[in-house]
Every structure is written in structure tokens, then in C-alpha cells.
Chains A and B, each alone.
Chain A
Amino acid sequence: GTLTWRGNKYSLDNGKMLLRGCILRNTEWCFGMVIFAGLQTKLMQNCGKTKFKRTTIDKLMNTLVLWIFAFLICMGVILATGNTIWETWIGRGFEMFLPWTKFQIGTVFSGFLTFWSYIIILNTVVPISLYVSVEVLRLGHSFFINWDVKMYDCQTNTAAVARTTTLNEELGQVEFIFSDKTGTLTQNIMVFSKCSINGTIYGDVYDEFGHRKEITEKTACVDFSYNLLSDGAFKFYDNTLVEAVKQKDSAVQEFLRLLALCHTVMSEESEGKLVYQAQSPDEAALVTAARNFGFAFWSRTPESITVCEMGQVVTYQLLAILDFNNTRKRMSVIVRDAQGRIKLYCKGADTIIFDLLDPSSKDLMHTTSEQLNEFAGEGLRTLALAYKDLDEEYYDVWMKKFLFVSTVLENREDQLAALHEEIERGMKLLGATAIEDKLQEGVPETISKLNLADIKIWVLTGDKQETAVNIGYSCNMLRDDMTDVFVVSGHTLTEVQQQLRKAKERILSLSRVSDARNDEDNDIFADDSVFEEAIITEYALVINGHSLAHALEPQLEIVFLDLACLCKTVICCRVTPMQKAQVVELVRKHKRAVTLAVGDGANDVSMIKTSHIGVGISGQEGMQAVLASDYSFAQFRYLQRLLLVHGRWSYFRMSNFLSYFFYKNFAFTLVHFWYGFYCGFSAQTVYDQWFITLFNIVYTSLPVLAMGLFDQDVNDQNSLRHPSLYKSGQNNLLFNKRQFFLCTVHGMTTSFLLFFIPYGAFSVMVKEDGSHSSDQQTFAVTIATSLVIVVSVQIGLSMHYWTAVNHLFVWGSLAMYFVILFAMQSDGLFGVLPNIFSFVGAARNCLSEKSVWLVILLTTAVCIVPDLFVRSIRASLFPTQTDRVRQLQQSCKRQRPEEQNLRRACRTSSRRSAYAFSHQEGFGELITSGKNMRTSRVSSTCSYERTAPSSKWIENVIKRTNAVSCISFGSPNKQHQS
């Protein structure tokens, strides 16, 4: 489209678009107008549908309530039939005392009426208050998450927030975690941690005995105060490098000079400080390192680079930038120094650089290569640095060729590449750098904990494969002791299919071999699902976006999923937000497992919305992820607390709560059913109307709520220390249909005993003073009292954690029962409404009776003992993991629990990753063209007027890259997601 403004027409093309979700970097503001909004934005279209999230227990609960309803109707039918039969055989004879009303035409009709009466009487078996109570519990659990000080991040001043209050117990059942990488696992901060210069490693700290020391918070940093331009945030621990610089070691100087010259970083001054704007954080880290060691990149123009070398301002003439791209995997600059010497500085992937080296560097290459292995083993990103002195004549010839080729229309790229390679041949090796892609705190520990809890973690990232794999290694997700890491990178459907098949066959064959050794019987392994459990060795799968697109096609998705589930670790790289959602959806659909997605950026929104539970990391990348999420916090490591502590507790509490609730309602209601057989199925209630009204609301609601809110089987430290406790949630052990069945049977048994023991006693009972006491009201009070006592004892048995609140609620409810009982049956209330409070005096007369208490005691004992017996037997014969940990917790209660220290294992690795670049072409062209600078004025003061050139610069960037990349303009690691 075009924009007409003040008579001028401006074209509006893709390059001028800022997509929703963009974050402006390197500029403070820009003019804009809204073109499309809302659902039409790319972000929203990538989001996928928002679903209403419900937990598994919720769904199960709905099914169960339907079952209960069916059960209620069954009881109604049974009792109605009973009524018809009774009226036919017995009721007719009783008509003399109780004539039928004009409505009651016949016995069948009487049965029909009875059916509805019983539906009304027995409706308490359908737990209507359950839904309210469950919501209250979830709200409480959410508050506990919000209040958790251990999930509060001081640095960003953010506490964890449960943004949804309906998913808490689902947190205890997670089987799959889908994690974003940048900003979630990593901080997106690159730190210059080590370097090797001329065969010497700098960056390690040794103690007095020459042993390498672990770098901790307490290790003394190098003091850069001598350097006025140093950046305070930069930390380095090895003093030897500084000394080498001070001694003017030429190799070291050249090394640092290279770092200061060979880059595409822009500098600017803000508040009197030098600030770098880099395309990738890696570059910024390198340039900042050079700056601190005394080679501060000061400013650049299209033709020059000004560097402050050890306090002296030196300007280099910038002759050419041979930019980075994915095939070259290196970048070079050609500069002319103050003395007129022409030099080429190159940095890039070690494998590439090593091929281009001069034979004279061979020895150094070997040493450096070993050191690079060492760096890689520590999970650092490495780069090799090399330089070359150029002759004036050689350079002129080359430059002419270069200019010529630049204008060639055909095959320009290839020819340029050849030219670049020509001049980059025969370089001398300077050394290597190692950059740490800083993980968020505690990531490897968290991941290993979650792994121990049988949670599968899949990393879905927009980054390229190497970065992702590198992070995989540094998070302990990929390890060298893994049997195999499958990389699927096919570009066609068949390729991908073959790769997937091959990988799967390999796993199956290997396991078959290892199993055959252990077990002669191979036939059991015909079934893959059985097989999944049997795999001992660990595999990992790495798949990239192209292949994933094929793997997600309907004919391959099952193969892919099977393979992925056989692997311990799955890494999907270069995936689009939509693909993230598709992967989540795939697992959701076919595995029937609870999925959790965690991410921090706008590109994670779709997967956060698709998964059962979405977790947003409130990081630097805006609020989209947090706004779409169900839970949000500041650090990835809080995930373990969220799942292993809060999730597990929540699930445990909810399960116990539901079991008890169903039990309670069955025990309470079915008494009417049994009574039906003795009262001619006439729908006579056993209890007082008031008791029926208040039982669920007042007498029994608070203790069970207290249990649902405060109960802890195992405290938080032990929950974290024994991640395997989490498995009961994944396997849905604590509340399922079987459990439901058991607790309803338990409830029915209790109601049976509650009815028949008093029945047995009352049918022959006479009061102490001789008056009969088998009247209905006494019976009602006795059963009600027994019931309240039995369910109170029962909740006492179910509670594991008796806080003061629990005590208050349990004892308080019991006390409340008696208080209300006497109040409801008091003279005063009866005087006001005699027909409603007709139980007057029943409690006083009944509960003053020894025989009634004997009945209550007997009923309570008989109802409780079997349950207690079963619990004890189960605890001793089939102790669960929870029981064990509880016992452990009890036995060492007095000892101070010591924090378990999961240290990151030191790895020796032969793998290395050498990509301290973004995976996109750099800004070389941009810089040399000068478009990004206002004028070609050499600015020694480094103070640009920021807005005008910057906005133009961005404009150019947008022109060059496609429009989407500006979403991640400031974080280039994410560019390939669209």
C-alpha cells in the first residue's frame, strides 16, 4: 500500500512493517500507524485457538457425578419398586389407619411418587457442594503458589503468579514438559569466559597447589579499574591475561585487537558511557571482553574503525568486511592500520578456520584444537581467531576482482564466496575464545530432578541446531554417555521417514540385544508399548524445523511420536510457533498425558495455549507469554518447585479430598436407603431435616477443607529430594475410577453399619427409666451423632498434617454439631415454629442415655477399625514410596535437613560447537555501505545523535531481512521461527 502524507507518497512494503510482538531495540521510539490489529496480526494467527483448560480430575469428576446420578436413579427405581410391592402386600392393610389421598390412585402410581421422593431425599449423594469446595481448594492452592517465597525472584522483584486457579492439581500429573530455550533455559546472556591465546589458556583459576578451582560467587574478579573504558558488568577471574596485556605480549595484543576490530557491533554513548549495540549477544561479549582488556572499540564509520588501544586512540581504515553467513561460518575484516599495513582478521568456526590456516600454524593448531575440546566439554561456545598480513599489491588485485564480482549479475554469491576464500587462505592462528551461553540459574539441576520424576522434557526452540544441541549438553539433557543421539534433518518426507525408521529400528534392535542377554524370552517384546518401559539405555533425538514439518504429517506423526517417546531427550530446533503448538498437540492427542509448556516470548504463546498447562517465564521478552500462561514466574528453576512441591501437594490434597468427600456423602445418604426397607419404602428420612441441611455445610465441610488446603504427606524439602514421589500423580494413582469405587464402597459399608447397628440395638432397647426409646427421633439423633463422629474420625485418619487450623476445624466441627443439635431441639425454637423444630428435647433425652452412647461407641469402633486395619496392613505390606519417605522424614525429624547438592558433572566431551554468531548474515554490508550512519564524519567523540541514524539503520535492517525477523531484532537467536 501507499501512504500519502503532505502531498508525498510513501510506499508501505514488508520492510516497513513492525509486527505485533516486536520489541524496539537500539532505538527508543518510532512513528507508526496501525494497519492490522487484533486477530489479523501475524502473532495472533500463529497463536492457534485458545481452549478452555480443564484438568483430568475435573473431567473424571464430571464422569463420576454422572455415574453417581445413574446410581441415584437406580436406588430410586429399586425403592420405588419396593414401594409398589409393599403397598400391594402390606400397605393395603394399613389403609385403615392411613387412607390413600385422592392423588394416590394405585400402588404403581404410589411407586412412581416414591421414586421422585427418594430422588429428592437421596440427592445428597450427588455432591453438589463438591464443585464449590473444589474451587475453594484450588483458589487456596493458587494463593500458596503466589505466596511462595521460594519462587520469588529478588532480582526482578517478581513472585510466582498462578494466573489460573483451576489447574493446580494437574501440576501434579505432568508427564511432558515442552520448553523454549532462549530466555527460558538460558538467560540469553553471553559471557566471555575463557580464551586460548597462542596455546595458553586464560580464564581458569588455580589454587596454590596448582589445582583448578571451581569459579564461584566468592572468587575474586580481575580488577579492571586501571582501564577507564572498562565495563563494570564484565567479570573475569584470571589475572594472568591482564598481566600478559600489560606486558605487551604481541600475540595477546593481536588477539584482543582482532576482537576489537572484527565484528559488526555499533557503539554509542549513553550517559557518558560507551554502549555497544550488537546483533548477537556473542559478539557483544567478545567486543566487551576486548574493551575491558584495553582494546576498546570506540566508534566506526563506513570506512574506519576507531579503537582505544591501551589508552591510545588508533583509527584503522576499514577496507572490507567479509561477512558471516551460514556456509562460510566465519567473518573477516580487512583493515589498514596507522602504519599503513594491511591486515585481515578472521574469526569463525574452528573446523573452517583450521582448514584455511597457514601450514606454519600447525603445531599451534593442535594445541588449540585440544584446548577447544576442553572448552567444548565445559559447554562453552568456541570460536577460532586468525589473522593474515596482506601485501598492498595482492590486496589491490583482490580488491579489483572483488569490486568486479560485486557487480556481476549471474552467480554473484558463489563467485564472492570463492573470492572470500581466496583471500582468507593461509591465515595464522591466534587462538580461540570460549563464550558461555549463560544458563538460567539451576537449570541443569532442575532438569535432572524433573527427569528423575519421570517427566520428559522436550526443548522446542527457534534456534539453530548447533546452539540447541550445545545447550542440551550444558543442561545435562544430552550427555556423552547416551547411547545415541539421532539427528533428523531430512528435507523431504521420505528422507525424514527413513531417518525416523532407522533410528527406531536401532533403538529396538539394541534393546532387543541387551534384553535377550538378560531374558531368553524375546517374544514379549513384540509390543512397542511394553517395550518403551524396557529400554534401559538412553537416546536423544534432535530434529529440525524442516524435518519436523514432515514428521508432523498425518502418516508420519505416529512414527515420530513413538520414536520421540523412546528417547530420553528430544530437541526440536528451528521450529515456528505454530509447529511448537503442533508438537504439543500431537503429544496431547496421542499420549493422553498431561503436558506443560514453558516459555518466555511471544513465539511460545501458541504452545503455552495448546498445552494442558502453560507456564510463562516473566523475563525480558515482554509479557505475551506471561499473559497467555496459567502460571508465571521469573526463573526456570522454580518449575521444579511448582511441579514437585505445589503440583504434587495439590494433586495429593485434591485426591484425598475427593475420596473423602465421596465417602462422606455415601455414608451420609445411603442410610435412607437402608431405612427404606423398614419404613415401607415411604421416603421417610432417617435424620432430622435440619441435620440433612447442615451436614454438608456446617458439620463436615471445614475439616475436609482444612485437609484439602493444608495437608502434606511429605514436606517440601523431601518432595524435592525424592522426585520419584511425583510418579504417583503421573500414573493417576491417588484418584481414579478404582479409588472412587473403593471410597464409595467404603461409604456404603459405613452407612450400612451406621444403620444396622443402631437398628439391632433399638429394636430391643428400652430406656433406663423404662420408657421406650425406639422412637424415630431418638434413632435419628443416635445415627446422626454416630455419623458425625465416624466421619470426623475418618478425616482424622486421612489427615497427615495436623496444623492448629486442622485441629480447630475438626474439633470445632464436632463441637458445632452438638451445639447446633441442642440449639435446634431447644424449647425456644420449638415455641416459635413447632412444626419445623419438632425434634424438641430429643437430643437431651437421647444423649443422656448410657445405652445410646454404648451404641454410638460400638458403631464408631466397628466403622473405623476395618479402615484402620486396611491402612495399617497397606502401610506395612505394600508401602508406597510416600510411606517410605514419610517414615524417613519422621525418623530424622530432629536432624536439620541438609540441602542436597546436585553438582553439575564435569564432562569430557569430544563434541564442540563453534557458533558465536547469529545464524543470519551479519551487518557487514550495512556497515560498509554507511547507510546506518548519518554522515561519514569520523566521530572521535563517539556521540551520535541517536534518533535519526538509528531509525534509518533499522529501516535498512528491515529492508534486508524479512519483516518477521524484527520481532527478534534484539535477540537474533530467534529469528527463524516464522
Chain B
Amino acid sequence: MGKEKSKSGPLARRPDNSAFKQQRLPAWTPMLTASTVLPSFYLLALICMLLGVWLLLTVQNTQEMKVDYTEAGSCNLCFEMRKNVSNAGQKCTCMIMFSIEKAFKGDVFIYYGLRNFHQNLRRYMDSRDDGQMLGRKSNLKSPSSYCKPFDVDEKGVPIAPCGAVANSMFNDSFILTYYTINGPTVVPLLRKGLTWYTDKNVKYRNPKMDNLTLPEVFEGTTRPPYWQKPVYQLDPFDPNNNGFINDDLLVWMREAAFPNFKKLYGFLYRANKPFTKGLPAGNYSVAISYNFPVQYFKGRKEVVLTTVSWFGGQNHFLPIAYLVTSGLILLTAVVLTVVWWKFGKDGKNMAD
């Protein structure tokens, strides 16, 4: 700092008289005055109000149906059966009846919901190997240590997909039946296209095939201990929906942020009658292949049917939050108006 500049002359050390160095840069100096704050408050209140009303109206048009089948009806037996670990291999199916009073119009989505299942525990979330699921051969044969204790089985054979997340994959399946006058009709469900494009095409890849079949590629690996089928047999109908790019697996692998969550199971195939306009009102049943044990963690399982609007599924939180916010902003705006109206004169004379 004490350095002299190379310039010489009587004013050699004179600092530059530039706007920057003299802190005279042209600047915008906004001030919180009544004329700037009040309109923005009212405007903001108005925007929130309009959004809130619009969202509320939209939400009114969506429908949602939740069926908790944890212990309901015949599922009680399955629930009891799953309490015993030794019965894990046995199959158990049960059926729940429900009715829809008002038709679900448009696209209908079917979810499975879990309560009290913590997919967001740190060790749980870390217990996966993205390299393996990207199809890296080296990771396939020697999974990341994060997957412990689900990296290799007792014999030291690597598990694919490894880790606690994959191991705990939800494995109940549903068959939805609509009871018309003509008799029961199975509600056709699309079970593909449930995931993000990036998940299906970027994040998860099967290992390179090199003219091998999928089971051959996965040779030398074993299925996760809680699974009944290996990863290459997850979808018995569509061979392209197997391995690490199985939609159900992908949906499960996208860990939920909170312990109560629902994940997409499938959506209504609307090509044939009577489902072209959605789900008609009437009686339905859902047949459940009851595999997933929830009693250990006091969890609940449910099937959720819902229609969506432009901003997603039925979501009462947003419109209400917007309306409340709008009200509060309006209140503060009114308080401010009163304050300025009463003390405005002081404000103008503040300069003295």
C-alpha cells in the first residue's frame, strides 16, 4: 500500500479521481417508502389470493381415494401371517372391497402408500451403489462398501442390486376389479412409464449385454435376501422392463423424503370401455398379493387412487397456504396503510 507509483511529478501520489475509487459509482438507492412498499404488498396479496382461489378451484375438481389394507378385511390374515418371519416364503393374497361414489374423470393414478417407513434415514439412503445400477461391471461384481451388510451374501456372492434400499423394495401387487352389472371387469393398468426419463435412461442402466441374455449378464450375482425373484425376472411379461431398469425398482430407489409417502404403482389404461373417461362410479375390489411386512415398524399400507390437475395431484395444502398468506399480507398492508396514513405527515417532515 505504501508503494509509490512509478509516476513522478508533484501530484505523483494523487489517487485517481475515478468514480470507483472515490466510491461515487452511479447507483440505485431504493428506499422503503409508502409509495413503493404499499403497492407491492397489495399486489402480492392479490397475486396470492388469485393463485389460492385458482388452486382451490382446481383441487376441488380432483379426486382421491385411499384404501388402507394393512389389516383390513381378509388382509388381516395375511398381516398375521407376515408377522412370522418363517412364513416369508408363503404366498398370501387378500381382497378389499370399496366403492367410488363419484366417477374419477381423466387420468387415474394408482399408488401404493406406506406410512412410518423411513426411506430417509442416512444409513438407509447411503446403502446403495449408483455405480452398480449404472451397469458398471466392476461394481456389479464388487459392490460398494456402502451397501453393507447387503453387499454380498453369506457365501460371498455379490448382491445385485446391492444395499438396504433395493433389499427393502415394496413387493405387494394389486389387481383392481370393477364390478359392473355385467360382472367383474379387471381394471386395466399401465405399469410402465412410471419413472423420470433421466432415471430410466441415464441414472439406471443394465450392464452391457454383449449378445448375452440378461440372466447371463447377472451371472455370479445373487438376488437381495428379501427378494423372491432375481433382478432380471422382476417383470415376467416384458423382458425390457427387467434388471436395473425395472420401473418398480426405479420408483422404489427414488427415496422418499418423509416417512409417510406414496409411490406410483401404475395408471389407468383408458383405451377400452368403460374406462375411456376414467374410473366410473361403482363398486371395486382390489386383490392384493400381500408380501411386504409392515408390522415390524408399525407401518401402514394403502392403495391410493387419484386424478391430477395442472399442478399435480390432490393437494389442499398449497391453495390453503396461498389463501392464508394472502390474508396475512393483506393484513400487514392494511396495518402499513394505517400507519402511513396516521404518521405520514411525520414521515414527510422527517427530514428536519
Taking Cβ atoms with an 8 Å cutoff, the residues of A that contact B are: 90, 93-99, 101, 117, 142-144, 146-150, 152, 154, 157-159, 161-163, 649, 678-680, 682-685, 710, 712, 716, 757, 759-780, 800-806, 827, 830-831, 834-835, 838, 840-841, 844-845, 849-851, 854-855, 858, 861-862, 865-866, 868-869, 871-873, 875-877, 879, 883-891
Contact assessment for A768 and B125 in the assembled complex, using a CB-CB cutoff below 8 Å: no
A785 to chain B, nearest CB (A): 15
Considering the chains assembled together, what is the distance between the CA atoms of A161 and B1 in angstroms?
7
Task: Judge whether B164 is part of the interface by a CB distance below 8 angstroms.
Answer: yes
Give the contacts of B85-124 with A (CB-CB under 8 A). 107, 109, 111, 116, 118-124
- Closest residue of chain A to B336 (Cβ to Cβ) is A872
B36 to chain A, nearest CB (A): 9
- Closest residue of chain A to B347 (Cβ to Cβ) is A876
- Neighbour of A101 across the interface among B27, B149, B263, B352, CB < 8 A: B149
Contact assessment for B351 and A891 in the assembled complex, using a CB-CB cutoff below 8 Å: yes
Residues of B within 8 A of A861 (CB): 44, 48, 325, 329
Contact assessment for B311 and A854 in the assembled complex, using a CB-CB cutoff below 8 Å: yes
Contact assessment for A854 and B148 in the assembled complex, using a CB-CB cutoff below 8 Å: no
- Neighbour of B198 across the interface among A835, A841, A851, CB < 8 A: A841
Contact assessment for A94 and B121 in the assembled complex, using a CB-CB cutoff below 8 Å: yes
A614 to chain B, nearest CB (A): 16
Task: Judge whether B29 is part of the interface by a CB distance below 8 angstroms.
Answer: yes
- Closest residue of chain A to B168 (Cβ to Cβ) is A97
Contact assessment for A776 and B16 in the assembled complex, using a CB-CB cutoff below 8 Å: no
A93-B29 contact in complex given A149-B15, A158-B13, A678-B258, C-beta closer than 8 Å: no
- Neighbour of A776 across the interface among B34, B125, B196, B332, CB < 8 A: B125
Contact assessment for A763 and B196 in the assembled complex, using a CB-CB cutoff below 8 Å: no
- Chain B, residues 158-200, CB within 8 Å of chain A (1/0): the string is 0000001001100000000000000000000000001111110
Task: Judge whether B321 is part of the interface by a CB distance below 8 angstroms.
Answer: yes
Contact assessment for A834 and B131 in the assembled complex, using a CB-CB cutoff below 8 Å: yes
Contact assessment for A154 and B318 in the assembled complex, using a CB-CB cutoff below 8 Å: no
- Neighbour of A764 across the interface among B34, B123, B267, B317, CB < 8 A: B317
Contact assessment for B350 and A887 in the assembled complex, using a CB-CB cutoff below 8 Å: yes
Residues of B within 8 A of A804 (CB): 25-26
Given pairs A710-B25, A769-B308, A854-B55, 13 additional interface contacts (CB within 8 A): A163-B2, A682-B121, A682-B123, A716-B23, A763-B260, A765-B315, A768-B311, A778-B257, A838-B203, A861-B48, A865-B328, A873-B339, A887-B347
A865-B44 contact in complex given A146-B1, A873-B336, C-beta closer than 8 Å: yes
Q: Lowest 6 A-B CB distances belong to which pairs?
A: A841-B198, A766-B313, A147-B21, A93-B297, A888-B351, A779-B257
- Neighbour of A144 across the interface among B21, B37, B260, B308, CB < 8 A: B21
- Closest residue of chain B to A646 (Cβ to Cβ) is B23
The DSSP consensus for interface residues of chain A is helix
Residues of B within 8 A of A887 (CB): 31, 33, 347, 350-351
- Chain B, residues 24-43, CB within 8 Å of chain A (1/0): the string is 01111111111001000100
B270 to chain A, nearest CB (A): 13
Contact assessment for B254 and A858 in the assembled complex, using a CB-CB cutoff below 8 Å: no
- Closest residue of chain B to A776 (Cβ to Cβ) is B257
Residues of A within 8 A of B322 (CB): 854, 858
- Closest residue of chain B to A807 (Cβ to Cβ) is B28
* Candidate in B34, B125, B344 with the most chain A CB atoms within 10 angstroms: B125
- Neighbour of B136 across the interface among A830, A834, A873, CB < 8 A: A834
A684-B120 contact in complex given A835-B144, A890-B29, C-beta closer than 8 Å: yes
B138 to chain A, nearest CB (A): 12
18 contacts between A and B (CB under 8 A): A94-B297, A98-B123, A142-B1, A147-B22, A149-B15, A161-B2, A682-B120, A716-B23, A771-B195, A771-B264, A774-B256, A775-B257, A776-B255, A841-B202, A845-B196, A866-B332, A873-B336, A887-B347
Residues of B within 8 A of A777 (CB): 254-255
Residues of A within 8 A of B261 (CB): 772, 774
Task: Judge whether B343 is part of the interface by a CB distance below 8 angstroms.
Answer: yes
Task: Judge whether B84 is part of the interface by a CB distance below 8 angstroms.
Answer: no
- Chain B, residues 4-24, CB within 8 Å of chain A (1/0): the string is 000000111111110001110
Contact assessment for A851 and B37 in the assembled complex, using a CB-CB cutoff below 8 Å: no
- Neighbour of B325 across the interface among A98, A710, A858, CB < 8 A: A858
Considering the chains assembled together, what is the distance between the CA atoms of A647 and B120 in angstroms?
50
Contact assessment for B167 and A97 in the assembled complex, using a CB-CB cutoff below 8 Å: yes
Contact assessment for A684 and B332 in the assembled complex, using a CB-CB cutoff below 8 Å: no
Task: Judge whether B208 is part of the interface by a CB distance below 8 angstroms.
Answer: no
Give the contacts of B289-334 with A (CB-CB under 8 A). 293, 296-298, 306, 308, 310-318, 321-322, 325, 328-329, 332
Contact assessment for B13 and A841 in the assembled complex, using a CB-CB cutoff below 8 Å: no
B322 to chain A, nearest CB (A): 6
Residues of A within 8 A of B70 (CB): none
Considering the chains assembled together, what is the distance between the CA atoms of A877 and B34 in angstroms?
12
A149-B22 contact in complex given A771-B196, A830-B202, A835-B130, C-beta closer than 8 Å: yes
- Give the number of residues in B that approach A within 8 Å (Cβ atoms): 107
* Candidate in A765, A806, A871, A872 with the most chain B CB atoms within 10 angstroms: A872
Task: Judge whether B282 is part of the interface by a CB distance below 8 angstroms.
Answer: no
Task: Judge whether B340 is part of the interface by a CB distance below 8 angstroms.
Answer: yes
A835-B123 contact in complex given A147-B22, A759-B258, A768-B311, C-beta closer than 8 Å: no
Considering the chains assembled together, what is the distance between the CA atoms of A348 and B22 in angstroms?
50
* Candidate in B1, B17, B111, B293 with the most chain A CB atoms within 10 angstroms: B1
Residues of B within 8 A of A93 (CB): 296-298
Contact assessment for A97 and B350 in the assembled complex, using a CB-CB cutoff below 8 Å: no
Considering the chains assembled together, what is the distance between the CA atoms of A161 and B258 in angstroms?
58
Contact assessment for B318 and A854 in the assembled complex, using a CB-CB cutoff below 8 Å: yes
A829 to chain B, nearest CB (A): 11
Contact assessment for A157 and B120 in the assembled complex, using a CB-CB cutoff below 8 Å: no
B338 to chain A, nearest CB (A): 11
Contact assessment for B121 and A854 in the assembled complex, using a CB-CB cutoff below 8 Å: no
- Closest residue of chain A to B322 (Cβ to Cβ) is A858
Considering the chains assembled together, what is the distance between the CA atoms of A840 and B203 in angstroms?
7
Contact assessment for B32 and A767 in the assembled complex, using a CB-CB cutoff below 8 Å: no
Considering the chains assembled together, what is the distance between the CA atoms of A142 and B1 in angstroms?
9
A650 to chain B, nearest CB (A): 11
- Closest residue of chain B to A805 (Cβ to Cβ) is B25
A498 to chain B, nearest CB (A): 47
- Neighbour of B149 across the interface among A99, A148, A157, A877, CB < 8 A: A99
Residues of A within 8 A of B257 (CB): 678, 762, 774-776, 778-780
Contact assessment for B34 and A876 in the assembled complex, using a CB-CB cutoff below 8 Å: yes
Contact assessment for B125 and A827 in the assembled complex, using a CB-CB cutoff below 8 Å: no
- Closest residue of chain A to B34 (Cβ to Cβ) is A876
Residues of A within 8 A of B259 (CB): 678, 680
Contact assessment for A834 and B124 in the assembled complex, using a CB-CB cutoff below 8 Å: no
- Neighbour of B13 across the interface among A157, A802, A834, CB < 8 A: A157
B274 to chain A, nearest CB (A): 21
- Neighbour of A801 across the interface among B27, B34, B125, B318, CB < 8 A: B27
* Candidate in A94, A162, A803, A875 with the most chain B CB atoms within 10 angstroms: A94
Contact assessment for A157 and B14 in the assembled complex, using a CB-CB cutoff below 8 Å: yes
Task: Judge whether B137 is part of the interface by a CB distance below 8 angstroms.
Answer: no
- Neighbour of A802 across the interface among B27, B251, B343, CB < 8 A: B27
- Closest residue of chain A to B133 (Cβ to Cβ) is A834
Residues of B within 8 A of A886 (CB): 29, 31
Considering the chains assembled together, what is the distance between the CA atoms of A879 and B345 in angstroms?
13
Residues of B within 8 A of A776 (CB): 119-120, 125, 255-257
Contact assessment for B336 and A869 in the assembled complex, using a CB-CB cutoff below 8 Å: yes
Residues of B within 8 A of A831 (CB): 134
Contact assessment for A679 and B144 in the assembled complex, using a CB-CB cutoff below 8 Å: no
Considering the chains assembled together, what is the distance between the CA atoms of A855 and B339 in angstroms?
31
Considering the chains assembled together, what is the distance between the CA atoms of A330 and B317 in angstroms?
96
Contact assessment for A851 and B318 in the assembled complex, using a CB-CB cutoff below 8 Å: yes
- Closest residue of chain A to B332 (Cβ to Cβ) is A869
- Closest residue of chain A to B203 (Cβ to Cβ) is A840
- Closest residue of chain B to A827 (Cβ to Cβ) is B202
Task: Judge whether B262 is part of the interface by a CB distance below 8 angstroms.
Answer: yes
- Closest residue of chain A to B339 (Cβ to Cβ) is A876
B130 to chain A, nearest CB (A): 4
Contact assessment for B202 and A152 in the assembled complex, using a CB-CB cutoff below 8 Å: no
Residues of A within 8 A of B109 (CB): 766, 770
